[in-house]
Chains A and B, each alone.
Chain A
Amino acid sequence: MTFEVPDDLKYQESHEWARAADGTAKIGITDFAQDELGDIVFVELPDVGDDVSKGAEFGVVESIKAVSDLYAPVSGTVTAVNDQVFDAPELVNDDPYGDGWMLEVELTDESELDSLLTPDDYEDQIA
């Protein structure tokens, strides 16, 4: 089975992605992660204004069969939360890189992006 790994994102080993632009980054989980989890039924996320730290837990995603912590791929202050995934968590299954995004953060250290996996590296990890 092949999974979508978009070229314009950076990835974390724990299967979160970051899409950086203009000092901010959108964050979500990968196609591989949503497939591993199965039917997602619940997402718990921080509030706008909260801080997240690279590598630290920032929320929880639950499928019918499992609970998984979410780890921030970058540090920053939350500027937006995708509250659509609270009422329709299946968006994370259906469109993990689009409508199923989770947070937008204002980056505190853009150089952290350099330590994330490239699409090629992430593809190797999930191969």
Chain B
Amino acid sequence: MPAIKSLEELKRVREEALAKKQLKATPGHIQVIVAMGTCGIAAGARDTMKSVLNFIETEHLSGVTVTQTGCMGMCEQEPIMQVVIGDQPKVVYGKVNAEVASQIMKQHVQNGSPVKDYVLPL
């Protein structure tokens, strides 16, 4: 069995994450939800998710929860991604490939301005 990164290292990561969290106050809880039903996965939702996680990692974006949901009944719009910031109404995006996901993360999640071209009129 190969050795994996140690739990000691993880504890250090935890301490650093806690310290950084105290330094950076987030503007409200941010939730990013990627639809991962069979239709979403087949349309590329895992690449969308990868792009979201890469963005969080490279931009050191703290305080973002990333979750999945199943098929939303709009298979033709997959991959679908939702963004919920604090108490604001959720914004649902369609046709979110990896590149669009990165754009949404930068413009909406990081700077608070929805990417109108991809918002689904619900």
Do A and B truly interact? no
Binding site for B on A (CB under 8 A): none
